[in-house]
Structure 1
Amino acid sequence: MKTFQMQCKFEIIRVLRNRYFVFWSLVMPILFYYIFTNVVNTNAPDKAEWQAHYLMSMTVFSVMGSSMMTLGIRMVQERSQGWSTFIRITPLSDTVYFAAQMMGQSVIHLLSITIIFIAGALINDVSLTALEWVMSGLWILLGSLPFLAIGTLIGMMKKVETAAGISNVIYMVLAVAGGLWMPLEIMPKMMQSIGKWLPSYNFGNGAWEIVRGNMPEWKNILILIAYLAVFMLLSKYVRRKQEAV
C-alpha cells in the first residue's frame, strides 16, 4: 500500500509540472467558458441555465482531454524512454504501476473540477445547491473512467508524435460531435443521432441533467460502462500482443 501511495504521489507531481496539462486542461476550458457565456451571443432564453450548462460542458471537456491526452502521451513517452522496461526489473508490479497512474490522474481530475467550478462561480456567479455541486463533480470524476481507458489504449502507441496527433483528433471530434462546444440540438439530425451514442455526449448529459435538477439517465450510465469495458479489453489485448512480440 505504501508503494502504491508513493507512486500516486509521483504521478500527481509529474502531471502538475506539465505545462501542456495546465494550458489545455485548465486555461483553455476556462477561456472558452468566458467567451461562450460573456462574449458570444448565444440567444439562450435562460442565461443562468446556459451558464451552468456550459460550465459542465467545459469541465467535462477538460477532464476528457486530460484522461486521453495527458495520460496517453505520458505513457508513450515512458515507453520510448525505456522507463516502462526499467519498471519491470523493480519490485513495483505492472498492476500497481498502472493503477497508480490512473489514481493519480483521478486526483488531478478532482483538482481540475474544483478549479473550473470556482472559475464558473467567479466569472458568472453560477449558483447551484451544495448537492448539485457535489453530485455533478462526482459524476464527472466517475464518468472519466472510459476516457482513462482510451488514454491507456493511446499509451500503447510506439511514437509520441503519432499518439499526440491521434489523441488530438479523437479529442476534438468527440468534443464537437458530443455537444460539448455547442448544444447537440442545433446540429443536423444525422449528427444528433450519432452524437447521442458517443461517450462524450453521455458524459456531458449526465452533468447537464444534474444542474437541471434531475439525475443522470440510465442510458448515459449504461453507455459509459459499455465503452469502459470495450476500451479496457482492447487495451489489455493490445498490451498482450506487444508483450508477446
Structure 2
Amino acid sequence: MSTVPATLDQRRVPRLGGFNGTLFGLELRRMLRNKRTLFFTLLFPPALLFAFGSGSDMNESVGNGNVSAYVMVSMALYGAAITTAVAGSSVALERAVGWSRQLRLTPLHPMAYIATKALCALALGALAVGAVNVAGIAQGNADMPVVRWVACAVLALLCSSVFAALGLFVGYVVPGENAMQVLGPGLAVLAFLGNVFIP
C-alpha cells in the first residue's frame, strides 16, 4: 500500500465549450434521418401553402405584393416556427432516454449543447422556408419584388429563432414525448390568433 494520494488528471475543456462543426454536422444529419422531421420540414409547410394560397382572390394587390405572396410568407413563417420548435423540443426525448446524462460525462459544456440544438433547429427552419418559397414559385401566384421576397425569407428565419428557444424550453420542462403535445396545439392557436392562416 502506498501512502501517496492518487492524482487525478485534469480534463482539458475544449475551445468554445466543445461546440464545433463536426458536432453540428452530426446532430443535423441525425435530425434529417428522422422521417417526421422531414415531413414537418419539407412537405407540411408547402402543403399548407397549396391549401390556403390557391383561392380565386389571391391575385389581389396588397402593399408591395399580392395576397398570394402574403399567404406564402405566412406559411413560410409558420413552417419555420413548427420546424424549429419541434427540433428544439427533441431534447425532451434525449433526456428521457438518458442521452443528456451521458453527455454530462464528456467535456461538452451545456451551453455548447444548447447552441448546437438551436443552430440545428434554425438550419431546419431554413429548409422549411426554402421549401415554401420554392412551392410559391412553382405555384406561380405570388407576386412581390425579389428584394422583398428575400427579405421576407430571412426575416421568417430570424423570427423562428424565438420558436427554437421555445422548443428548447419546453423540451427541458416537459417530460419525454409530451413536448410536442404542448407545442403543436399551442403553436396552432398562436398562428390563428396571429392571423397566419386567413389573410
Q: 1:42 to 1:165 in 2, by over 3 A?
A: farther
RMSD: 2.1
Q: Distance in 2 between matches of 1:43 and 1:65?
A: 24
User: Which residue of 2 is the match for residue 71 of structure 1?
Assistant: 88
Whichever residue aligns with residue 35 of structure 2, its letter is R
Alpha-carbon offset, residue 34 of structure 1: 1.1
How far apart, in 2, do the equivalents of 1:96 and 1:20 lie? Answer: 25
- Which position in structure 2 is the counterpart of 1:208? none
Q: CA 1:95 to 1:166, structure 2 compared with 1: closer, same or farther past 3 Å?
A: same
Q: CA deviation at 1:149?
A: 1.5
* TM-score (structure 1 length as normaliser): 0.67
Tell me if structure 2 keeps the 8 A contact 1:33–1:54.
Answer: yes
Kindly indicate whether residue 70 of structure 2 is the aligned counterpart of residue 53 of structure 1: yes
| 2:108 aligned counterpart, secondary structure | coil
Deviation at 1:77, TM superposition (A): 0.5
Matched, 1:156 2:172: yes
Is 1:35 the counterpart of 2:15? The answer is: no
Matched residue, 1:146: 162
Who is 1:238 aligned against?
Answer: none
Alpha-carbon distance in structure 2 between the residues aligned to 1:70 and 1:101: 7
**2-side partners of 1:158 and 1:122: how far apart?**
39
* Structure-2 separation of matches of 1:110 and 1:92: 26
1:160-194 superposed Cα distances (whole Å, 9 cap, x missing partner): 332121111111111111111113xxxxxxxxxxx
Conservation of the 8 A alpha-carbon contact between 1:51 and 1:124:
no
The runs of 5 or more residues in structure 2 that have no matched partner are 1-15
Instruction: State the distance in 1 between where 2:67 and 2:26 align.
Output: 38
* TM-score with structure 2 setting the length: 0.82
Corresponding pairs, count:
181
After superposing on structure 2, the runs of 4+ consecutive aligned residues of structure 1 that deviate more than 6 Å are none
Aligned 8 A contact 1:36 1:42 in 2? no
More relative contact order, 1 or 2 (CA 8 Å, 6+ apart) = 2
Aligned pair 1:83/2:103, yes or no?
no
Amino acid at match of 1:50: V
What SS does structure 1 have at the residue aligned with 2:128? helix
Query: 1:178 aligns to what?
Result: 194
Secondary structure class of the residue paired with 2:43:
helix
Query: 1:125 deviation in Å?
Result: 4.8
Instruction: Report the counterpart of residue 217 of structure 1 in structure 2.
Output: none
Letter in 2 for 1:126: A
* Structure 1 residue identity aligned to 2:71: Y
Q: Is the 8 A contact 2:19 2:113 kept in 1?
A: no
Q: CA deviation at 1:156?
A: 1.2
> Do 2:31 and 2:37's aligned partners in 1 also have CA atoms closer than 8 Å?
yes
Identity of aligned residues (%): 23
Distance in 2 (alpha carbons) for counterparts of 1:138 and 1:165: 28
Q: Which has the larger radius of gyration?
A: 2
